[in-house]
Each structure stands twice: as C-alpha cells, then as structure tokens.
C-alpha cells in the first residue's frame, strides 16, 4: 500500500508541475487551498491521500469568468485533473467582470470593494521539494478567499483553518477595510435572504465526507454531460 501511495504521490508532483504556469483563456490558473497554504506557511506538502483514504483534490481559480463546471471539465479534458481531482468552486463565489469584482452564491451577488489584493499573485516553493512551486494569491488574497468561502463543517478543516488564521495574525496579515467590510456585508445579507444556507452547506460537507469520490466523480461527469447537451458552452483555450 505504501509503495502504491508513493507512486501516486509522484504522479501528483507531475500534475502540480503541469498546473504551474497553466493559463485559461490567457488568464493565470491559481492554486489555493491546502497546497497553497502549506507553501505559504513553509509546511510539508499534504499527501495525495487524506487520512480517511479519499484522494485530496487541488483547489484552483481563474479570473477569466468561467464557472466551476467549465473549469473542472476543461482541465480534465487536457489531462490536468489526475491523480488529484480539480475543485474550482471558488470560480462560483469570486466573480470578476472587467474592473469590478463580486461575491456570488447562486443568484445572490454583491460587489466587493478594495479588492485589488485579489490581483496580487505569488509563486511559492513547496517545502521539502526540489524547486516545485505553485502560483497563488498573496497572503492577503488567501485570507480574502478564505473569508469568502463557507466554513467547512469537518473537524480536520476546522483545525487547519484555525492554524492558518493564527499564522496570518502572527504575520500581521490584514485585509483592506473596504474588502473586509464588503465580505462581511455579503455573508450577512445572504444569511438574511437565505436563512437555511448554512444548513445546506453542512449537508454538502456531509455528502463529501460520506460518499466516495469515485461515485461523486461519476455524478459530476453525468451532470457535465447534461449541461453540455442542454446548455452548451464556448470552448476556452488552455495553454
């Protein structure tokens, strides 16, 4: 089992190398989540397999305006979603439109102020590797995206988020006031408009924790196929 896992981790290194520098429609593909946080804090890269045996995904974002489904499908088509599946959920939450930025959940959308820190990107070398790097947001941008996303209702995520926030505090990382206030206003207004939103998020996390990734992957593929058949999409360019 250990040898098999080591081989999978080698494939993951190759995947990360290929993702670094990838562009979608001329816009940079940014890696965030556990990989970027580990690189930022100088921690060991988390392995391919999580403690529960599930495959750890790679969180990505591109400011080009494509949604979660389109980005995930596109990277899968060009062979960049293996062995770690791609999670482009942030593309549904952080929306860029020219010189403006918005926070979005479903049809609920609010403008973000002082969002320029989200345009700052960095290349971070992964600790314990031979020059392997990821391109991501600045530390301030990572804080902003963390606050934009719903908290995960699993103990392992809670502890990791708590350590990440403490690291940011120790390094005096703060958001511009306008961005911090507009993110808070977005969540407050959303919770007032959709009081059951947190319950749905918690149910979604239970679904991810209980249903094996292979089954969730098949369901996503069928959903993508349905969307392509009935909605269609333009074909973006990946380089």
Q: What is the pLDDT of residues 113-138, one digit of tens each?
A: 999 999 999 999 998 888 899 999 99
Asked whether 133 and 39 are in contact (CB, 8 A), the reply is yes
Q: What is the pLDDT of residues 185-233, one digit of tens each?
A: 999 999 888 876 555 555 665 556 666 766 766 766 676 566 556 554 4
Please state, in angstroms and rounded to a whole number, the distance separating the CA atoms of residues 81 and 62.
15
Q: Where are the domains of the chain?
A: 2-230
Q: Edge-to-edge strand order for the sheet containing 94-97? A: 94-97, 100-105, 108-111
Q: What is the pLDDT of residues 21-33, one digit of tens each?
A: 899 988 999 999 9
Percent of the chain clearing pLDDT 70 (strictly above): 76
Q: What is the pTM of this model?
A: 0.79
Q: For residues 189, 192, 196 and 197, what is the CA-based torsion angle, rounded to 10 degrees?
A: 0
Average pLDDT, the chain: 84
Q: Report the DSSP beta bridge partners of residue 55.
A: 49
Lowest mean pLDDT among 7-11, 89-93, 155-159, 182-186: 7-11
Interacting residues of 59 by C-beta distance below 8 A, sequence separation 6+: 31, 32, 33, 34, 35, 36, 87, 88, 89, 90
Q: What is the pLDDT of residues 36-79, one digit of tens each?
A: 999 999 998 888 888 777 888 999 999 988 899 999 999 999 99
- pLDDT over 90 at 85, yes or no: yes
Cα 213 off chain centre by: 17
- pLDDT over 60 at 147, yes or no: yes
More confidently predicted of 171 and 218: 171
């Amino acid at each position: 089992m250990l040898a098999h896992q080591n081989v999978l981790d080698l494939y993951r290194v190759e995947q990360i190398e290929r993702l670094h520098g990838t562009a979608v429609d001329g816009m940079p593909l940014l890696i965030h989540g556990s990989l970027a946080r580990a690189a930022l804090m100088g921690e060991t890269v988390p392995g391919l397999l999580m403690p529960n045996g599930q495959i750890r995904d790679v969180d990505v974002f591109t400011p080009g305006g494509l949604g979660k489904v389109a980005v995930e499908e596109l990277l899968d088509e060009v062979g960049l979603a293996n062995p770690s599946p791609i999670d482009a959920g942030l593309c549904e939450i952080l929306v860029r439109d020219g010189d403006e930025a918005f926070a979005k959940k479903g049809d609920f959308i609010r403008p973000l102020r002082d969002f320029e820190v989200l345009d700052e990107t960095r290349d971070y070398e992964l600790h314990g590797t031979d020059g392997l790097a990821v391109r991501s947001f600045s530390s301030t941008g990572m804080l902003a995206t963390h606050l934009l996303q719903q908290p995960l209702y699993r103990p392992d995520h809670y502890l990791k988020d708590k350590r990440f926030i403490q690291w940011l505090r120790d390094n005096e990382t703060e958001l511009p006031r306008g961005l911090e206030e507009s993110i808070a206003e977005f969540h407050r207004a959303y919770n007032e408009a959709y009081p059951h939103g947190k319950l749905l998020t918690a149910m979604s996390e239970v679904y991810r924790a209980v249903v094996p990734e292979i089954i969730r992957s098949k369901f996503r593929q069928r959903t993508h196929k349905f969307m392509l058949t009935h909605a269609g999409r333009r074909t973006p360019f990946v380089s």
